[in-house]
Amino acid sequence: MSSSNFAEAIVLRTAQLTPHMCRLTFRSEFAADFTLGAPGQYLKVLAPAPGEAGPPAFDPNTYKTQMRTYTLRHVRPAEQEFDIDFVVHGDEGIAGPWAKQARPGDRILISRPGTLKFTVEEADWHLFAADMAAIPAAAIELEG
Looking at residue 114, its pLDDT comes to: 80
Contact of 85 with 17, CB cutoff 8 Å: yes
Mention every residue, 6+ apart, whose C-beta is less than 8 A from residue 139. Answer: 73
49 pLDDT higher than 70: yes
2 pLDDT higher than 60: no
CATH number at residue 113: 2.40.30.10
pLDDT tens sequence across 52-82: 777 877 777 777 778 889 989 999 999 999 9
Query: Between the CA of residue 27 and those of 9, 11, 82, what are the distances in Å?
Result: 5, 7, 7
Q: Domain of 43?
A: 3-143
pLDDT tens sequence across 94-107: 888 889 999 999 99
* SS3 label, residue 65: helix
**Single pTM value for the model:** 0.85
What pLDDT band is residue 130 in, cutting at 50, 70 and 90? Answer: confident
Mean pLDDT, rounded, of the chain: 84
The total domain count for the chain is: 1
Q: What is the spatial distance between Cα 44 and Cα 6, in angstroms, rounded to a whole number?
A: 9
